[in-house]
Chains A and B, each alone.
Chain A
């Protein structure tokens, strides 16, 4: 006499665990914004206060150099 087939056991896969919410980034891990490359002194033009660094930047960025020779302090008066 034949044996009855074994009962089929249906195993349901376990549901995947919910992904954990990302940990909040510590405040000091946020990269600091780069320091400003220069100052505008109330104009629309960004001025480096060092011609040598301006020259290096111009070479690197394939730009020309704009140099202003002024009387007095640029911060106080713009002779343009």
Chain B
């Protein structure tokens, strides 16, 4: 199912976000089969600081749920009068830490030491995104997109055009 073709999700995105896209990878079309390729979606401040991300394709419900979480969490930060960079970073760090604990049973305070040991194979892509943004909150998109695409999605960042093999 194409989440972006969903009327409700589309309306919510258009009402609350300004959208753009960027080609960062490639894939191979072998006959009628598509090999490789993926998508990463980022919810950012207008300046391009990443508030949240979705690694990989999701359905309309998931897209809408994550978009709403970003919008409502942003409103809460505004309501709290958080304007300085330090306070905003701390706020979003806690927001991602809370979701990591609630949805992925990972308490960052307890596992901080083990983070130095490398990636966490028990975390799925959603958990890894929360882990990334809980440890480095509000990064610039340029600072994290390669990590998301190559380390979480296991795709290569590439400027190569789509390769077509056969008919």
Give the B-binding residues of A (Cβ under 8 A): 38, 42-51, 53-59, 61, 63-74, 76-80
Contact = CB atoms under 8 A, between A and B. Distances in A.
Given A57-B18, A65-B18, A73 B46 contact: no
B135 interface: no
B20 A67 contact: yes
B70 A64 contact: yes
Interface stretch (B1-9, B79-87, B94-102, B104-112): B1-9
A77 B29 CA distance: 11
A67 B39 contact: no
B21 A49 contact: yes
B51 interface: yes
14 contacts: A44-B13, A54-B18, A55-B47, A59-B47, A63-B17, A65-B18, A67-B19, A67-B141, A68-B39, A69-B21, A70-B22, A71-B24, A71-B26, A72-B27
A71 B18 contact: no
A74 B18 contact: no
Interface of B: 2-7, 9-11, 13-14, 16-27, 34, 36-48, 51, 57-58, 63, 67, 70-71, 74, 141, 145, 148-149, 155, 162
A44 B162 contact: no
Given A69-B41, A80-B57, 15 more contacts: A38-B20, A44-B5, A45-B10, A58-B17, A63-B17, A65-B42, A65-B44, A65-B46, A66-B43, A69-B23, A69-B148, A70-B22, A73-B23, A77-B34, A78-B5
Contacts of A50: 20
Chain B binding surface, main DSSP class: mixed
Contact of A46 (B7, B19, B155): B19
A63 B43 CA distance: 11
Contacts of B13: 44-45, 66
A18 B131 CA distance: 78
Contact of A47 (B5, B6, B20): B20
A77 B39 CA distance: 11
Contacts of A68: 19-22, 39-42
Contacts of B74: 64
Closest 10 CB pairs of A and B: A44-B10, A71-B37, A79-B39, A43-B4, A71-B25, A58-B46, A66-B17, A54-B20, A58-B18, A65-B44
